[in-house]
């Protein structure tokens, strides 16, 4: 198997400096350091400077921007020694009216801008979005119902009432490169299209890993539930953080043991086997029926690597 696969939304180059998270006084000094910068999220969107190639717009620390936030800043890490934090802004009609951003800045959702960002910036936004979304939805203690407080630079929430400590969660999802060799057509891969997706858009089958399951168990269960295909060997290929809302996509090779497909009708509108030639045509935008997965998705990386024989399976 050929490694490494280049997977989008990975490899930011940011030093998370986890050892600093428990040092409240140090974090306060870092926040007010001249080189400190804040990444503001508003309505799930981030400030992108469109003057030239799209790039993330980092704001200098100021009391005004902190006052416009819903909670304390989250510590993302160090960029060549320079502190980097993220905050979520209180709801406003247009965040640019707050006066912190230039006219060339536009707030754009990560799904739309990720493929256009360079140098690991999309990875930093992935970290920030996952953390800020978690804080937004976990302000109340799940044990006793009391309001909880941010701690450890944003990497924990504490309940002052019952003493419970809550940590950011990431849900594991297995995504399967489910293949089987046909005696005449050669290797084929299973891809499906969910209800409501754009016409022609297909992707690899995927599903959450359930409690008490291994990744291999989940891949076999999901393959049978969604496609009716029994699976033999399962092997890890690559992974990708996917902050919609906060999952870890675990890409695996799954050996199909049968040809007949039985579609899970409630979730999937279409399902089919596709050859390497069909995948290559879709990647080139030349397939009459099939549209390849989006460029920043691990599904795209896996099917492209498979179709171009980068994987030795």
Please check the confidence at residue 288 and state whether its pLDDT lies above 60.
yes
d(CA 205, CA 264): 11
Quote the pLDDT of residue 2.
47
- Of 98, 129, 160, the last residue of a domain is 129
Tens digits of per-residue pLDDT, 6-38? 899 998 889 999 999 999 999 999 999 999 999
57 shares a domain with 96: yes
Quote the pLDDT of residue 4.
65
183 shares a domain with 303: yes
Q: Beginning with the edge strand found earlier in the chain, give each strand of the sheet holding 165-166 in spatial order.
A: 149-151, 156-158, 165-166
DSSP string spanning 149-187? EEEGGGTEEE-TTT--EE----EEEEEEEEEEEETTTEE
231 shares a domain with 284: yes
147 shares a domain with 62: no
Q: E-assigned strands of 243-296?
A: 247-256, 268-275
What is the total count of domains within the chain? 3
CATH number at residue 57: 3.90.79
- Of 146, 168, 190, the last residue of a domain is 168
159 shares a domain with 246: no
Please check the confidence at residue 136 and state whether its pLDDT lies above 50.
yes
Provide the β-strand partners of residue 89: 69
Closest CA to 115 of 44, 53, 172: 53
Is there a domain that residue 11 lies in? no
Q: Beginning with the edge strand found earlier in the chain, give each strand of the sheet holding 74-79 in spatial order.
A: 59-60, 37-41, 82-88, 74-79
- Of 168, 185, 217, the last residue of a domain is 168
Task: Centre a 10 Å sphere on the Cβ of residue 221 and count the other Cβ atoms it contains.
Answer: 16
- H-helix or E-strand containing 121? helix 121-137
DSSP conformational letter for 92: -
CATH number at residue 222: 3.90.79.10
Is there a domain that residue 292 lies in? yes
Is there a domain that residue 274 lies in? yes
123 shares a domain with 164: no
Tens digits of per-residue pLDDT, 181-236? 998 888 999 999 999 999 999 999 999 999 999 999 999 999 999 999 999 999 99
147 shares a domain with 240: no
207 shares a domain with 295: yes
Q: Cβ distance 250 to 241 under 8 Å?
A: no
Residue range(s) defining the domain that contains residue 150: 138-168
Tens digits of per-residue pLDDT, 81-129? 999 999 999 988 888 888 889 899 999 999 999 999 988 999 999 999 9
Q: Cβ distance 182 to 189 under 8 Å?
A: no
Distances (CA, A) of 103 to 31, 37, 49, 67, 98: 26, 19, 9, 22, 12
63 shares a domain with 144: no
Is there a domain that residue 277 lies in? yes
What tokens were used for 111? 């799904």
d(CA 313, CA 135): 41
Please check the confidence at residue 149 and state whether its pLDDT lies above 50.
yes
pTM higher than 0.75: yes
102 shares a domain with 216: no
285 shares a domain with 301: yes
d(CA 75, CA 203): 34
266 shares a domain with 211: yes
Quote the pLDDT of residue 93.
83
């Amino acid at each position: 198997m050929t490694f490494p696969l280049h997977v989008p939304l990975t490899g930011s180059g940011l030093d998370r400096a986890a050892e600093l998270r428990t040092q409240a006084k140090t974090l306060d000094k870092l926040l007010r350091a001249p080189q400190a910068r804040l990444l503001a999220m508003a309505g799930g969107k981030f400030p992108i400077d469109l003057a030239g190639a799209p790039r993330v717009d980092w704001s200098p620390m100021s009391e005004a921007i902190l006052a416009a936030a819903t909670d304390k800043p989250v510590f993302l890490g160090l960029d060549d020694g320079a502190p980097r934090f993220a905050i979520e802004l209180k709801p406003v009609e247009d965040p640019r009216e707050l006066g912190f951003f230039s006219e060339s800045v536009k707030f754009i959702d990560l799904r739309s801008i990720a493929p256009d960002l360079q140098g690991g910036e999309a990875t930093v936004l992935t970290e920030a979005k996952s953390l800020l979304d978690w804080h937004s939805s976990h302000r109340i203690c799940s044990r006793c119902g009391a309001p909880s407080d941010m701690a450890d630079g944003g990497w924990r929430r504490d309940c002052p009432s019952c003493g419970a400590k809550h940590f950011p969660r990431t849900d594991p999802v297995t995504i399967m490169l489910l293949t089987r060799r046909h005696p005449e057509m050669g290797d084929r891969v299973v891809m499906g299209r969910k209800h409501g997706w754009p016409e022609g858009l297909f992707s690899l089958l995927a599903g959450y890993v359930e409690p008490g399951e291994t990744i291999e168990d989940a891949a076999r269960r999901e393959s049978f539930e969604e496609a009716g295909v029994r699976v033999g060997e399962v092997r890890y290929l690559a992974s990708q953080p996917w902050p919609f809302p906060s999952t870890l996509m675990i890409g695996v090779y799954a050996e199909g043991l049968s040809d007949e497909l039985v579609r899970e009708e409630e979730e999937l509108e279409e399902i089919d086997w596709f050859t390497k030639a069909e995948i290559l045509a879709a990647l080139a935008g030349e397939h009459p029926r099939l549209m390849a997965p989006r460029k920043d998705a691990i599904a795209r990386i896996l099917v492209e690597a498979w179709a171009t024989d980068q994987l030795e399976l």
